[in-house]
Chain A
Amino acid sequence: MAVYLVSQITTYLRGVLESDPLLGDLWVQGEISNLSRPSSGHQYFILKDADAQLKSVRFRQHRFGLEPLDGQEVLAHGRISLYEARGDLQLYVDFLQPAGVGAQRAEFELLKARLEAEGLFEETRKRPLPLFPQRIGVVTSPSGAVFHDIVRVVERRYPLAELVLAPTPVQGERAAPGIVAALQALHHLEGIDVIIVARGGGSWEELAPFNDETVARAIFGSHIPVVTGVGHETDFTIADFVADRRAPTPSAAAELVVPDQRELKARLEEGQRALRQLTLELITASRSHLRLAQAHLMSQQPDLSRRRQRLGELLHQAGESLRSQLALRGERLSSHGRQLAALSPTQTLGRGYALVQAGATGQAITQVSQAVRGEAIAITVSDGSFPAEVTG
């Protein structure tokens, strides 16, 4: 008889439960009751239906999807295991959503929540698209309208590009692996600048490959920017969330990827116009600079005519000044002349006076005492001299 310890049995049971393929990944529908939310952030509740109940726990790190409420009918995703410390069999919930959602939709929401939590949809990892792609990879079906639509758009907008079609089925069993293989094939080519992953509109089931986890991870792992154009405007697939850019349709994806040559031509014309305008402005500005410089240069040059005129003025002034000086002096001279003339003896003699000089010495006799009797004297009158003798 073998005897086991309790912990040996719980460990064994846990092993059995966790190795079961069904219990490791299942959806359970039921009503929430006895909900408790301790401060740990985990959530504990019971999932029940009319006949049975299942202990359930949702750990903080798995709080994706719906926030539970007592009495709510939900669809829970998770795994069954044994909590050994209590011997409780529990459903470990990692995703909750309202009951009534279709199975495929539920899978979609679960995958979306998981990948989002993992960071596959992060805005920060979205890369800018090249402005002028030269080689554009296209992952889509070779038949049907989608590739044709993309060709038409690129041909019209930017015929400088090359389209490299990596063909794949886009619905059915082989679609998801086909899309992954097409992406890989494009990664191995030289110089692919951007990749379009496209499919025309279809039912939710037909779009399933674009909600496949392997496709999502292949897009996430692409070192080349990926643009999706899947289905119609209202369809959002997991591929859209992971892609660097999501376009509502295949044609819109093509428009997003290439510039429009009409716009480019307009920019070329604008560029040429700006070149002409700027150069003309510069030439005009240079001309007016030149004119200013010339004017400045002229103003720096001595003005000879003005100086000549000034010189003339100065000379004239000097002449005038000299002339008036001379005139003044001339006048003074003639006045002196008149004074001199008034003092001159001839004038006096003219008025009847006479000059008496000693005949021997010629000395002027101005006093009686100088006159010696019998001495010869000379008497000068206005018109000449005559001898005389002192007699008295």
Chain B
Amino acid sequence: MPPQKKELTFEAAFQKLEETVRRLEAGGLTLEESLALYEEGTRLAHLCGQRLEEAKLRITQLELGLGQGASSE
């Protein structure tokens, strides 16, 4: 099942987290902005960690009508 519309994908959350860290590293922010980024980053990190913990590999097999009964390795 694809991630729900409102929820970020792992990729989006992960990249947003790294972007958040970069912005904090770049500096030039007010304390208020930094604290907001910190909260956001922490939330994203938890989200990513949770996604990895809960992940379960999905496997789909296409029906091509070609490999059927073929003696293949």
A interface residues with partner B (beta carbon < 8 Å):
131-132, 134, 141-144, 146, 151, 154-155, 158-172, 174-175, 177-178, 181-182, 185-186, 189, 199-200, 202, 206, 261, 264-265, 267-268, 271-272, 274-276, 278-279, 282-283, 286
Given that A261-B52, A264-B48 are known contacts, is A166 also in contact with B25, CB under 8 Å in the complex? no
Closest 9 CB pairs of A and B: A167-B67, A169-B72, A132-B11, A141-B72, A159-B55, A162-B58, A169-B70, A279-B38, A278-B24
B45 x A167 contact (CB < 8 A): no
Residue among B35, B49, B59, B71 with max Cβ neighbours from chain A (10 Å): B59
**Seed contacts A170-B72, A185-B62; 17 additional CB < 8 Å A-B pairs:** A131-B11, A132-B9, A154-B57, A161-B57, A165-B62, A167-B72, A169-B67, A172-B71, A178-B66, A200-B73, A268-B14, A268-B45, A271-B17, A271-B18, A271-B45, A278-B21, A282-B34
Chain B 29-73 interface 0/1 with A at a Cβ cutoff of 8 Å (1 = within): 101001101100110010011011001111111101011001111
Q: Which of B21, B48, B73 contacts A143 (CB 8 A)?
A: B73
State the CA gap A244–B53 with chains docked (Å). 31
Given that A132-B10, A265-B49 are known contacts, is A286 also in contact with B31, CB under 8 Å in the complex? yes
Given that A162-B58, A163-B57, A286-B31 are known contacts, is A272 also in contact with B66, CB under 8 Å in the complex? no
Given that A132-B10, A268-B17 are known contacts, is A168 also in contact with B67, CB under 8 Å in the complex? yes
Minimum CB–CB distance for B19 against chain A, Å: 10
Q: Which residues of A contact B25 (CB under 8 A)?
A: 274, 278
State the CA gap A257–B58 with chains docked (Å). 16
A182 x B64 contact (CB < 8 A): yes
State the CA gap A276–B67 with chains docked (Å). 54
Given that A132-B14, A268-B45, A271-B21 are known contacts, is A169 also in contact with B59, CB under 8 Å in the complex? no
B20 x A275 contact (CB < 8 A): yes
Given that A163-B60, A200-B73, A286-B31 are known contacts, is A272 also in contact with B41, CB under 8 Å in the complex? yes
State the CA gap A238–B73 with chains docked (Å). 20
State the CA gap A246–B14 with chains docked (Å). 27
State the CA gap A278–B27 with chains docked (Å). 9
State the CA gap A117–B29 with chains docked (Å). 55
B57 x A274 contact (CB < 8 A): no
Q: Which of A159, A181, A182, A265 contacts B57 (CB 8 A)?
A: A159
State the CA gap A175–B66 with chains docked (Å). 10
Q: Which of B29, B35, B64 contacts A181 (CB 8 A)?
A: B64
B9 x A168 contact (CB < 8 A): no
Minimum CB–CB distance for B55 against chain A, Å: 4
Minimum CB–CB distance for B63 against chain A, Å: 9
B38 x A275 contact (CB < 8 A): yes
B64 x A264 contact (CB < 8 A): no
CB-based nearest B residue for A186:
B62
Q: Which residues of B contact A161 (CB under 8 A)?
A: 57-58
A162 x B59 contact (CB < 8 A): yes
Q: Which residues of B contact A276 (CB under 8 A)?
A: 38
B17 x A178 contact (CB < 8 A): no
A264 x B61 contact (CB < 8 A): no
State the CA gap A166–B48 with chains docked (Å). 30
Subset of 9 A-B contacts with CB under 8 Å: A141-B73, A159-B56, A164-B62, A165-B60, A166-B64, A168-B67, A175-B72, A182-B62, A275-B37
B18 x A182 contact (CB < 8 A): no
A151 x B38 contact (CB < 8 A): no
Q: Which residues of B contact A206 (CB under 8 A)?
A: 73
Residue among B24, B59, B72 with max Cβ neighbours from chain A (10 Å): B72
